[in-house]
Amino acid sequence: MYKLTEEGKEYLKSGLPEKRLLKFIENEKSLEEASKFPNSQIAIGWAKKNGWIVIENKIVKLTEKGKEIIDRKTDLEKALEEIDKKGESKQDLIKILLSRKLIEETKKVKKPSFWQRLFGRKKEKKVEVRGEIAQLTPELIKSGEWRNKTFRKYNVNAPAPKIYPGKKQPYVQIIEEIREKLIGLGFQEMRGPLIETFFWNCDSLFMPQDHPSRSIHDVLILKNPSIGKLPDENLVAKVKATHEGGWITESTGWGGSWNKNEAAKLIMRSQGTAVSARTLYENKDKPGKYFLIDRVFRYDIIDAQHLMEFDHCEGIVIGENVTFRHLLGFLKEIAKLIGTEKIKFKPSYFPFTSPSVELYVYYPKLGWVEAGGAGMMRPEVLRPLGLEKSQVLAWGLGIGRLAMISLGVNDIRMLYSDDLEWLRNKEIVIL
């Protein structure tokens, strides 16, 4: 037999919180608004588990199932009524109500038999029970009390609580492994701001100001503040001269008139190469190897293959005698970092490198997969930034796509998932 707890009585009177949430949402509401609903955590959790709502882009929407149930009594509500009236209901519903602490089991009082009432209860024989222990402690040994104790038998079949040991988030683990391996190859990690000017993100990389990637459909442009600070006038003048007529780079440039105000506009960094440009300007002809694994932002429709923010892995090598052959050798070593040695190259185009290639890696289950792009930095990039003698090798990896392959997921959103079941059960991947 069972009876309602105080919380169970409240839900019987006013309705289950997940049911009341459906009427509050109506068709849809923002997650922020839904979170203000009383007992929102319980309500949202159970409504989502029952398939009554979905949460997309921080918007809570009713499903068809949720719309159907909104004006009908659920099995759980009927079970509350049954237990309130007769103390029993279906066993599967009782389990749910017990887990939610809406009901509790009533203790049965055994009535004495006719003969027990007539002659009185039989007096039970007292048996001296020595203390029973499950664990031997230093105090019991020192005091000698263990001699007066009975040791509890260990039941290997007894159910034990599940233990989930801590482990790194799978995607974070892959990023950290690649970072450690690049440092092991002698690369230094570079840093740069997430909010960037068009100057560093595009102009310093010899991307023309009418390039399609600069449109609002590709780059996230800041509204307030909208204008950033440009570097020193000397560098700005060199970049302007290079764009308009090639300056001293033996290039014809892009022609036209380069707009300083356009270069000062603030955006969310769309490529890690903006950090490479800053690093080149800072170090100039000083030899070095640098890499970046960090977030970039691009306007896109979010689906299984696309996000508006994702991670890029960028790298540059500065040296006087480095060649395209060295670049291919570096790419071969980098391919080993991501778990494959079978690679091939395809000629490609990037505004800031020439010659340029795309790197493809081979996975037995998927075949050839594009891993990233690379090339030799153009003089139109290097000379304005102060590199007069050196050449620069540059490469970039689509680290998210490679992580999806390694983790065996087909939805890029899973890389950033907070799904505890997936995080607990996902095997550890070692590249």
Query: For the chain, what is the mean pLDDT?
Result: 86
- Same fold: 2-105 with 171-194+271-425: no
Kindly tell me if the per-residue pLDDT of 202 is higher than 50: yes
Q: How does pLDDT run across 57-86, given as a tens digit for each residue?
A: 888 888 888 888 888 888 888 888 888 888
Q: Which burial class, exposed, middle or buried, applies to 158 when counting CB atoms under 10 A from its CB (0-12, 13-18, 19+)?
A: exposed
3-state secondary structure of 417: coil
Which residues, 6 or more positions from 368, have their beta carbon under 8 angstroms from its beta carbon? 344, 360, 361, 362
Kindly tell me if the per-residue pLDDT of 190 is higher than 70: yes
pLDDT at 127: 40
Asked if 205 and 350 touch (Cβ cutoff 8 Å), the reply is: no
Asked if 178 and 431 touch (Cβ cutoff 8 Å), the reply is: yes
Q: Closest Cα partner for 361 from 351, 378, 346?
A: 346
Which residues, 6 or more positions from 166, have their beta carbon under 8 angstroms from its beta carbon? none
Kindly tell me if the per-residue pLDDT of 124 is higher than 50: no
Percent of the chain with pLDDT over 90: 39
* 3-state SS record for 8-47: HHHHHHHCCHHHHHHHHHCCEEEHHHHCCCCCHHHHHHHH
- Section 187-210 average pLDDT: 95
pLDDT at 125: 46
Asked if 365 and 404 touch (Cβ cutoff 8 Å), the reply is: no
Residue 86, both tokens: 């007769």
Neighbours of 330 (CB within 10 A): 19
CATH number assigned to the domain covering 2-105: 1.10.10
Kindly tell me if the per-residue pLDDT of 230 is higher than 70: yes
- Segments making up each domain of the chain, as ranges: 2-105, 171-194+271-425
Give CA–CA dist 347/355, Å, rounded: 8
Q: Given pLDDT bands bounded at 50, 70 and 90, which one contains residue 317?
A: very high
The 10 Å CB-count burial string (b at 16+, else e) for 332-345 is eebbebbbbeebee
Give me the residue label for tokens 């389990």.
95
Distances (CA, A) of 110 to 103, 113, 387, 407: 22, 9, 94, 59
Q: Using omega within 30 degrees of 0 as the cis cutoff, is the peptide bond preceding 225 cis? A: yes
**Structure-model confidence comparison of residues 102 and 320, the more confident one:** 320
Q: Closest Cα partner for 403 from 119, 99, 176?
A: 176
For residue 87, is it left (φ>0), alpha (ψ between -120 and 50) or beta?
A: left
Residue 293, both tokens: 């694994």
Asked if 221 and 254 touch (Cβ cutoff 8 Å), the reply is: no
Q: Given pLDDT bands bounded at 50, 70 and 90, which one contains residue 128?
A: very low
What CATH topology corresponds to 171-194+271-425? BirA Bifunctional Protein; domain 2 (3.30.930)
Give CA–CA dist 8/146, Å, rounded: 46
Q: Given pLDDT bands bounded at 50, 70 and 90, which one contains residue 115?
A: low
Percent of the chain with pLDDT over 70: 93
Q: What is the pTM of this model?
A: 0.62
- Section 333-347 average pLDDT: 84
Q: How does pLDDT run across 389-415, given as a tens digit for each residue?
A: 999 999 998 888 888 888 888 888 899
